[in-house]
Each structure stands twice: as structure tokens, then as C-alpha cells.
Chain A
Amino acid sequence: MHFLNLFVIVPALTILAILFTRDLRGARWASAVGMSIQLILAGALVFMYLGARKAGVTDEMLFTSDTSWFPSLNIRYAIGVDGISVAMIALTAIVIFAGVFASWEMEFLSREFFISLILLSSGVFGFFISLDLFTMFLFYELAVIPMYLLIGIWGSGPKEYSAMKLTLMLMGGSALLTVGILGLYFYSAPEGGQRTFHILEIARASIPVTAQRFFFPFTFIGFGILGALFPLHTWSPDGHSSAPTAVSMLHAGVLMKLGGYGCFRVAMFLMPEAASELAWIFIILTTISVVYGAFGAIWQKDLKYINAYSSVSHCGLVLFALLMMNQTAMNGAIIQMISHGLMTALFFALIGMIYSRTHTRIIDEMGGLMKVIPFLSVVYVIAGLASLGLPGLSGFVAEATIFVGAFQHADTFHRVVTIVATTSIVITAVYILRVIGILLLGPIKNDHYEHLGDARWYERISTIILVIGIAGIGLAPLWLSDMINFSLGPIVSKLAGLVNDVPLVLN
């Protein structure tokens, strides 16, 4: 059996195992074991991938396998990974692992909760290993649907409204995607012959430019909604604030990255001419996202809203960097996806843990938590520092790469938007330090907080694994950056030569 299939099979087996458990204890242990195996597999995959590259394998995709599934339409179950998807798989494995431990005390309908959660993750894993647009889309839907249940049933606040809003907006994105993907399929054989959904085959076939112009916006916006593209990001604050902890973690940490990954792998890779022509529109929108999200976060009072707006800003930077269409900026975009995935998952985990102690998420009602729950507070500070781009943590690596890359364009437009985007580092510092100052430092506001207990062992596991990821990338980024760089090569060479036309559109 093929190695990559394990990433879908292990979650399926875990779900099966949970079905046979009887209570929370069983369900969480089954999930923990399953997701630990998944984490080990992801680690093994990284090593195998790096080993293969070191041995001189230069194929675009490694560990590929191709099974015909629905021959009349040439739909196949084609899988394979490159450096980018390996990195995303590793991210997903870490976040779902941390998420299981963060929901250790999910009393209400615990088995169903863990099943939905793992179903969601299996969709994400499937998405990242797919090379066939049809299966990719299928896994994408598999990841989105459980979200509705998870928020609607286990959420808090106006959960039905939020769940409905999130799902409908993402479904709207799916509708656009369907058009885009079908468009790609029907134009995948311009000189006649077998049409295909296979990404690499479409990439070789080169879609006619007129068709690209039509279908690119559908695909980019469809994925962009999931990546919190302004002004289609409004599902994010409501959705996150209502979602239970682990779901926020997975959603902001991983699911939003599906958007960025899709924009890059499907929209831009397969329709490079249209991408370079239309990039300027989306660059403007993402620049707005970056600054606007940061300003939006400053005055929020609810911890989850702050983090949701912060995610709008950071994910905006992902799309911004992708649209810069050079190797450095794109590399930064992928690192930013991973970095943001780790740190936002950490933020949501901590917010959940703080909420379970103080029963509020309004920062003004809390204060001085550093003294009573030092472990969680210190980790919160670390997450905050990662978010504001402190060197030594992952956020800095991503931002430095993005800004240097984006600034390599010689024309004024790209440079001005880059400078506008860099201002976000100051605004980010403002809202992060504001939260730290109010929430963690200062005198203790509420006497009841004197007796709060610090992190339990499962909470420590959940947060420490994420901190290790953040610090690991921050201290030694070279291997990750090189792994991504290698895989970006063929994509960027496809885009190269087109990029210079961009300023002409504006002039």
C-alpha cells in the first residue's frame, strides 16, 4: 500500500476506533493515539522527503501514485507531495495533535465531537496530498462540512448564526470553485484529446489565455474566501468566536491555509498568465487586508475577535506575498502559512484554556493573570511575540522573507504596497502588547482568580508542541526555506517572464 494513503487511512481508523469507545476517556485516548501516529508519520514524511531530495531526486512531485477512479471523465485518485505540501502536512499533523489535547475535557457528546474533528482533519490531509482537482475538491468539502456541525453543536454564543454564516460563505466559495475547476477541466486539452483534472497535466497543457482570464477570478476568489480575502473575510470573526477551542485552532491554523494553498497551487500555478495580469487587483485587496485587519484588532475587547482580526491581517500577508510572484516572496508566503498556522493555533488553544478558568473572554474583565497562571501566561507572551514578528520565532522568518522578496520588484506600485504592508508590524505590536498588558500584567482584578490552577499536563502537551514548532522554525529556518524553495523552482519558472508585464497593466 502506498505510504501517502496512510494520511487518510489513519484518521479513518481512528474514527472507527472512537466508534467502539464508550465515553470521553476512551474517545480522547483513541484520538490521542491516532493523532500521535499521524504526527509520527508526518515527521517520517519530512525525513523521507528530505532524504529523497538529498539523494538527488529532482521530480516535481514525490511518492506519487495514480489510480483511475471514474474513467469516463478521467477522474483519478492521484496523490503526491512536494516540499510545500510536505510542510503543510507537517503543520496539519502538529495542529490536530495539539487540538486533541486541547479538547481533553470535552464532556458534551465527546465521541461525536472527536469523530467530527478527525473527519475534518482527514479532509485537510487528503486535500494536501491530492494532485487531482476533483479529489482535491472532494476533500476540501469533507473538511468544510464537519465545521458546520462542530460550531453549531459544540460552539458558544450565537453559534447557529455563526455556523450558518461560516458555512454559507464557504459554500459560496465552493460554488465559485466548482466553476473554476470545471473550466480548467474543459480547457485542459486545448488541442483535443483526453481532458484531465490532474494538476501537473493541466500545468503542462497551458490553458488558453482567454479562458484563464475568465476562470482565474472564480478560482482565486473561491479559495480566497477561505483565506480571508478582504472583503469576504467576515465569516472569520464570528465563526472563530463561536467555535469550540480545537475547532478554532484547526480552522484558523489549517483550514484557512487551504485557501492560500489553493490560490497558489490551483489558481496561480495553472493560470499563470491571468494571474500576472490580474494580480494588481488582488494585491490592492490583500494590502487592505493586511493593514485593515491589524487596525480592526486594536480596539476589540473579545480575545477571539482580536485573534480573528489578527488572522485576517496575517493571512492577508500570505496572499499578498503569493501575488508578488517571485521565488522569495512566495517562499515567505508558505512559511507565513506555517508560522501563522502554528501561532494562531497556539493563541486559540490558550484562549480556550484561559476561558475555561475565568469564564470570560473580555479582556477588560481579566487582569494580572501572569501571577496566578504563569505557565499559560508565559506561553501567551511567546505566541504574542511570534505574532508581532520577533526574531527567533517563526513570524519573523516569514515576514522578513516576504518583505525582502516583495521589495525586489523594480516598479513603484509593488514597492509602495510593500511599504504599506510593512507598517503592519507596528500596528501588530500595538494590539499584541495591549492585550498582554491588560490581560496578563498589572494587578489581579478579580479575587476569584487568586485560586486558578495553572496548566494541566494535557494542556502543557498541547501548547509545548506548538511552541517547539514556532521556536524551531524561528531559530533554524534554513532547512524549511530550502525545502520550499526547491519545489517553488518549477512554479516560479513558469511565472517568470510574465511578472514584468504587471506594471504595464497599471500604466
Chain B
Amino acid sequence: MEIHGYAFTLYILLIPFLLFIFLGLSGHRFKPLISGIVGSAGLLVSFALSLITAYRYFFTSLHGEDGYSAIIAMNSVWLRLTEKLHIDMGILLDPISVMMLIVITTVSLMVHIYSIGYMKGERGYERFFSFLSLFTFSMLGLVVATNIFQMYIFWELVGVSSYLLIGFYYQKPSAVAASKKAFIVTRFADLGFLIGILVLSYTTGTFDFKTLTDPAGPAVTHAGGATFLGLSIITWSLILVFMGGAGKSAMFPLHIWLPDAMEGPTPVSALIHAATMVVAGVYLVARLFPIYALAGIPALNVVAYVGGFTSLFAAVIACTQLDIKRVLAYSTMSQIGYMMLALGVSGYGGHEGLGFMASMFHLFTHAMFKALLFLCAGAVIHAVHSNYMNEMGGLRKFLPITHITFLIACLTIAGIPPFSGFFSKDEILAAAWHHNKVLFVVEYLVAGLTAFYMFRLYYSIFHGRQAHYHHTPHEAPYVMTIPLMFLAAASIFTGFIPFHNLVTSDGMHLETHIEWGIAIPSVLIAAAGIAVATVMYRKESTLPARMASTFRHLYTWSFHKFYIDEVYLFVTKKIIFRYISTPVAWFDRHVVDGTMNGIAWVIEFTSHRIKGFQSGQLQQYAIVFVSGAVLLILVFIYLLY
């Protein structure tokens, strides 16, 4: 169904794409500042168009009894594959994609503006803005995809933009290594995604989301077909697709790239590795949610447990890290784990769909407050030129705006009312309570840990002993603090958006209310976490060191991120490189090629041996001739008589 009046949404994507081309090809011809301003101005237009889209979609379009339905704003064939399968390029508007348009353009715009100040004086300023535009374009293309292959295409494009931006400081070996790692790990996960698409599309005969997610469509109705290892083929394909999502969203055990990705410039971490790209995995599951919920419950359980485990695992690691960006990175993993878990415990339609709504709600609020946290961290790093919290302390006097906004973000993520994180987290906890008590308890624990490590971070940066600074830290310029203030306001107020009326699993309104029986304990747990952090880190004390030595093993394992990186290094360096690749190269040179050379050698050898017969000497020919003749005569005589 083509609905007119939404064709303008194309420009939301087109503007960043044109900016990418323009800044990439000719950005270096202008003053650097021009690139920043042009980039931000372009994004402002995209942002405004997204707001218009959201307004029209949610508040003026016709949605009666059926709730919000999906609108195809445009769609055209990009590549025909088989009679049934074709890759289209188009724009699909439904509650979650419209919500994502808002998230992406808001955060991207803030990051653009902030970067004008943050990246000032950096080499490759225009390159930075060009890549930011590429990323924004790809991410927007991902969320509005009308079919799963279009999503995969943009999925790869966000991957490469992330690669380019993590490796922005390309002369720094650690940045190069981090970018490579991020790309390869996510590529490995994408292999699962691709195979999942192949299986899914073969079984259902379509790539199209509308057909796939139709509760009466082929994906759901074919679910009872062939099985493999006890699970239906559809379930397997969903698990494989989720592998791609887990890679992009840094779920255990494919998370190892995200902490290293912090090598990129801080605004990039805020945009890509906190607010938008890393939630693509959540979005992917949400996009295919009807199939997960109606035809692949085992796959949905995988989502729930992977999410739940990651949220705990990452929260534990976050408590011991010293690099402030890494703390935030683990925090991001933990929060995305929350969103995955919420999807995993959700059902389709009606009140069963509470988890879905909660997940999307948390995605939205998290994007705002996590982007804020990263941008604040950027302002701090900008001021003290270090990433390590033990080289900071007492900064609240020097950075008043950053201090307040950071505190707001910390309270939000800790889930203190009335900040937005409280509302979205409460919905998740309520959804978990109704479906899975084990995961529910895990989430309570994570809530406490989250409050603890966030306030550990807060006190270490802004309170405690004032570190020795080479020059007095100073507050960032307005071009950087205004985005902070905007996002702080968003963190405070977005909790009041009536998500349950707007973004639900089946587009229908959902009646929810705060379940105080769940909310009050969770607030108390968070408060306890904050209290512990206050005692330990507000004033300089020996308590943290004593704690660390008491729980020595846990501390060491957590500090070393449970040695997952080392396991990966062992597998790749030792097994793949040493025991597969090197032998293959040797085999090729010595066995396969050796055989070819061997054949050549045999021929040469033989020819050396027999070349004597053609010596050109008449006497030798005569002897051979005569002896041959004699031999033949003897043979004839023998045969005849």
C-alpha cells in the first residue's frame, strides 16, 4: 500500500548521503569549520523532517480500531534475484521505525554540533563530518528498511562507518587494531545473519518485512515444518539472525569489540557505540518480533537469556574499570542486555506485549542519557586530557555544567524517579516479573550494580581528591555544552512520553501503570548502590582498595574482563593463523605447486636421459640402426622357426 504524503521522508536519508559525498570529495577545499556547519545544518533539516514525520504519523494519520499500521512511503526494486525474491530499496514507516528516526536524528544532530567544538583543530576535520554523515545515512536506511535484505545492506554500511570512525586516528596503532577488531567480530556475527536470511527467505519465499511479520503470513504458518535438532527451521533461522544482532549489539560472547571501540573520538562513541548502532540488534529482533513471538519461542528464550546474562556480566566488569569511556561502554552493554531481555520475555499483542513496549521505551530513553554520558565524558576528557579516572577528581568546581548534566544522567540511568530511566526500567522489570522470575532477580541485581558503578564514576571524576592537573581544567565552549543541556532535558522529560499508546508490539494501545510493588524495591536497591558508592568514593579513602583485596579473585577477573579477549586471541592467533592459515599457505606452495614443479622436473629429467639418442653423430645412428635390424631379424627367425 503506497500512501502519498510521506514521500518527503526520502530527504531524511538523502541529505546525509549527499553530505557524505560532498564533504568527502570537496570538504578539504573549504575552511574546516565550514564542514562542521554544513554538516550540522544538513542534519538539522533531517531532524526537522523526522519530527514532522513523527507528528504526522502518530498524531494525524488515520488509525482507528487497528491501531498504527505500517506505511510504505516508497519502494522500488534494486536487484531481482529469483522469481519471488528481490531486494528492494524503500522506506517503511511504523511505530518503531518512526521512533528510531527521532532517536537517530536527535542524537546525530547533537553529536554534530558538539563535534564542531570537540574536534576543533584536529587533522581530517572534514573527513570526520563526512563519515558522520555516512553513518547517519546508513543507520537511517537500516531502520526504514522495507525488507530484510535492505536491512542487511545498511547493516553492513553502518559496520563500515563504525570501522572508519573508530579508526579515525589512523596513525595510532591501538585505534587501527580496535577498528579492525570491531569490523571482523561484527562481520563474523553477520555471517550468521546472512545465513539466517538465506534460510528464512528460502522457507518463506520473501524478504519483505510486511509479509514476514504478518501473523497470518508464511513465516508464522510454516513454522511447524521441517525440524533440525529438535527446533523448527524458522527457529534456527531466527537464532542465526539474532547472532547478527548480538554481534552488532555487543552481546556476550560477541561483545569484545565494543570496549576497544572506545579508541574512536568520543562524539563517535556517543553516537554509534551508545545511542544508535549498538541498539541495531535490539531493533532487528523488534522488527521481526511477530515471528519470534509466534513461531520461534526457543529463539526468543535465547534472546532473553543472552540479554540477561550480558547485562549482569557487563555490570560486574563496569565496577572495576578505570578508563571512564570503558566503564560507559560496559554500561551500554549492560543496558542493551536489558532491552534484549525485555524483548525476550515479551509476547505478541495485548498486555503480553509489555516487554516489547518496555524495550523500545528503554531504547529511546537510553539513547538520550547514554549519549549525554558520553558527551559529558568527552567534555571531561577535553578538559583534563586523560581517560583514566585515577587522574581526575574534584572537577565539579571547574566544569559546573558538565557536572550537573552528568549527575542528571547518572540519576537517570540509576532509575531514580522522576527521571526517564525510572519509567522505562520499571516497565522492563514488570515484564520480567510476569514471565521469568530468575531473570527478574538478575535485573534487580543489575539495577543495584548500575547505580553503584555510575556513582563510582561520578564521584571519582567530580569529587574526591583533586588530581594534579598540568593546567587548570576549564569548561567546554557553548557549542559543546548546549547539546549537553538539551540531552539532559531530554533525559529528564522523555519518561513522560506515553509510549504505551504509541509503540507497541501490534500497534494497539496498551494500558499500563506503574507497578509500585516492583518499582519501590528497585528504587531502594538503586539508592543502596548509590549509598555504597558514596561511602567508598565520595571522599578519598582506603575502603575501595580493601574491598578489592577482600574479593581479590572476583576483582581480578572482573578487572581483566573475565579473560574473554585472551580466549579470542588464542583462537584466532594460535588456531586459525597458526594451525590453518600457515599450513594452507605451506601446502599450496609445497604440495600443490610442488606437484606441478615435480611434473615439470620429471619431464626435464626424462628428456635429459633420452636426449643422447639424438646426438647427430652418424656412427652412433649406424650402430643403432644395424643392431636394431639384427635384433629384428633374430626375432623373425625365432618366430618363424
In contact, A296 and B584 (Cβ under 8 angstroms): yes
In contact, B581 and A295 (Cβ under 8 angstroms): yes
Name the one of A230, A298, A390, A418 contacting B157, with C-beta atoms under 8 angstroms. A390
Cβ < 8 Å to A, chain B residues 60-111: 77-82, 85, 87
In contact, B596 and A165 (Cβ under 8 angstroms): yes
Which of these binds chain A: B175-183, B291-299, B349-357, B455-463?
B175-183
Q: Which residue from chain B places its CB closest to the CB of A238 in the assembled complex?
A: B593
Name the one of A400, A437, A478 contacting B180, with C-beta atoms under 8 angstroms. A437
**Residues from chain A with Cβ under 8 Å of B183 in the complex:** 429, 433
In angstroms, Cα B582 to Cα A450, docked, is 33
In angstroms, Cα B164 to Cα A370, docked, is 13
Interface residues as binary, A383-412 with B (CB distance below 8 Å gives 1, 0 otherwise): 001001111100011001101110110000
In contact, A441 and B170 (Cβ under 8 angstroms): yes
**Residues from chain B with Cβ under 8 Å of A425 in the complex:** 187, 190-191, 194
A422 at the interface (CB under 8 A from B): yes
Q: Which residue from chain A places its CB closest to the CB of B592 in the assembled complex?
A: A231
In angstroms, Cα B163 to Cα A433, docked, is 10
**Residues from chain B with Cβ under 8 Å of A403 in the complex:** 194, 198
In contact, A426 and B585 (Cβ under 8 angstroms): no
Chain A nearest Cβ from B159, distance in angstroms: 9
**Residues from chain B with Cβ under 8 Å of A426 in the complex:** 184, 187-188, 191
In angstroms, Cα B177 to Cα A309, docked, is 24
In contact, B581 and A405 (Cβ under 8 angstroms): no
Q: Which residue from chain B places its CB closest to the CB of A409 in the assembled complex?
A: B202
Name the one of A299, A300, A408, A478 contacting B78, with C-beta atoms under 8 angstroms. A478
In angstroms, Cα B582 to Cα A389, docked, is 24
B173 at the interface (CB under 8 A from A): yes
In contact, B80 and A478 (Cβ under 8 angstroms): yes
In angstroms, Cα B80 to Cα A42, docked, is 25
Q: Which residue from chain B places its CB closest to the CB of A291 in the assembled complex?
A: B584
A434 at the interface (CB under 8 A from B): yes
A287 at the interface (CB under 8 A from B): no
Interface residues as binary, A408-426 with B (CB distance below 8 Å gives 1, 0 otherwise): 1000000000110011011
Interface residues as binary, B131-152 with A (CB distance below 8 Å gives 1, 0 otherwise): 0000000000000000001001
B160 at the interface (CB under 8 A from A): yes
Q: Is the interface of A mostly helix, strand, loop or mixed?
A: helix
**Residues from chain A with Cβ under 8 Å of B288 in the complex:** none
Interface residues as binary, B156-173 with A (CB distance below 8 Å gives 1, 0 otherwise): 110010010001001111
B577 at the interface (CB under 8 A from A): yes
A481 at the interface (CB under 8 A from B): yes
B48 at the interface (CB under 8 A from A): no
In contact, B191 and A423 (Cβ under 8 angstroms): yes
In contact, A437 and B177 (Cβ under 8 angstroms): yes
Cβ < 8 Å to B, chain A residues 155-184: 165, 168-169
Q: How many residues of B contact A (CB 8 A)?
A: 48
**Residues from chain A with Cβ under 8 Å of B581 in the complex:** 295-296, 298-299
Q: How many residues of A contact B (CB 8 A)?
A: 58
Q: Which residue from chain A places its CB closest to the CB of B584 in the assembled complex?
A: A295
In contact, A295 and B596 (Cβ under 8 angstroms): no
A477 at the interface (CB under 8 A from B): yes
In angstroms, Cα B596 to Cα A481, docked, is 38
**Residues from chain A with Cβ under 8 Å of B177 in the complex:** 437
**Which of B77, B79, B195 counts the most A-chain CB atoms under 10 A from its CB?**
B79
In contact, B80 and A482 (Cβ under 8 angstroms): yes
A368 at the interface (CB under 8 A from B): yes
In contact, A481 and B79 (Cβ under 8 angstroms): yes
Chain B nearest Cβ from A98, distance in angstroms: 20
A371 at the interface (CB under 8 A from B): yes
In contact, A400 and B87 (Cβ under 8 angstroms): yes
In contact, B81 and A405 (Cβ under 8 angstroms): yes
In angstroms, Cα B243 to Cα A15, docked, is 57
**Residues from chain A with Cβ under 8 Å of B163 in the complex:** 433
**Residues from chain A with Cβ under 8 Å of B176 in the complex:** 437, 441-442
In angstroms, Cα B596 to Cα A231, docked, is 10
Q: Which residue from chain B places its CB closest to the CB of A430 in the assembled complex?
A: B184
Chain A nearest Cβ from B124, distance in angstroms: 10
**Residues from chain A with Cβ under 8 Å of B194 in the complex:** 403, 422, 425
**Which of A370, A425, A429, A477 counts the most B-chain CB atoms under 10 A from its CB?**
A429
In contact, A481 and B180 (Cβ under 8 angstroms): no
In angstroms, Cα B449 to Cα A131, docked, is 74
Top 6 A-B residue pairs of the complex, sorted by shortest distance between their CB atoms: A391-B153, A234-B593, A298-B581, A441-B170, A407-B198, A295-B584
Given A403-B198, A407-B199, 13 more contacts at CB 8 Å? A388-B187, A390-B156, A390-B157, A391-B153, A401-B81, A404-B198, A419-B195, A422-B194, A422-B195, A441-B170, A441-B176, A442-B170, A478-B79
Task: Give B contacts to A, CB under 8 Å.
Answer: 77-82, 85, 87, 149, 152-154, 156-157, 160, 163, 167, 170-173, 176-177, 180, 183-184, 187-188, 190-191, 194-195, 198-199, 201-202, 577, 580-582, 584-585, 588, 592-593, 595-596, 600
10 cross-chain CB contacts under 8 A? A169-B596, A234-B593, A292-B584, A295-B580, A389-B156, A396-B156, A401-B81, A404-B81, A425-B190, A443-B173
Task: Give A contacts to B, CB under 8 Å.
Answer: 165, 168-169, 230-231, 233-235, 237-238, 292, 295-296, 298-300, 309, 327-328, 368, 370-371, 385, 388-392, 396-397, 400-401, 403-405, 407-408, 418-419, 422-423, 425-426, 429-430, 433-434, 437, 440-444, 477-478, 481-482, 485
